[in-house]
Amino acid sequence: MLETGTRAPAFTLPDQDGNPVSLADFAGKKVVLYFYPKDNTPGCTRQAQAFAAACGQFQSMGVQVIGVSRDSTASHRKFAQKYALPFPLLSDPELAVIQAYGVWQEKKLYGKVSMGVVRTTFLISEDGVIEKIMSRVKPDTNAQEILACLGQ
């Protein structure tokens, strides 16, 4: 599992339009990298909408928001269009970045155990170091909690 104070794993993944997006693209900016289980599910939709609603505040602070799940770029495109999401959604069907960040974990639902993405948000500094890790976050309050960490 990653820890605060360590370098964030580098990555390049396609966004909802198929364009490659790398962590290095945002050198010199803080990045909110949030991992979520699935497009168009109730919790993930509320989380994305909360980040979208706060996007102006993040932008005014020079902070880039990025969402990551294992959904396809086509799924991300529909999700982003449906909810007018103003930030990139990255597709990681091979789980390369999801596993690098340690968010592919055992989950229990109604007594059934399965593997899946545990909703986790990373705040990454301008120089690529993990400043904060928030695991098992609540979709409705995650964006505001990150803003509070940033002093807003």
Distance CA 97, CA 13 (A): 8
Total count of domains within the chain: 1
Per-residue CA distances from 73 to 48, 65, 68, 139, 150 (Å): 16, 17, 11, 22, 30
In a domain, 112, yes or no: yes
In a domain, 5, yes or no: no
In a domain, 2, yes or no: no
* Catalytic residue ranges: 44
In a domain, 1, yes or no: no
pTM: 0.95
In a domain, 16, yes or no: yes
> Which pLDDT score, from 0 to 100, does residue 152 have?
59
CATH number at residue 20: 3.40.30.10
Count CB atoms within 10 A of the CB of residue 141.
13
In a domain, 81, yes or no: yes
Token pair of 110, please? Answer: 């109604």
Q: Can you give the residue range of the structural domain that contains 57?
A: 12-149
Low-confidence ranges of the chain (pLDDT < 70): 152
In a domain, 7, yes or no: no
In a domain, 144, yes or no: yes
Handedness of CA 111, 115, 116, 118 (dihedral sign): positive
pLDDT in tens, 70-113: 999 999 999 999 999 999 999 999 999 999 999 999 988 788 89
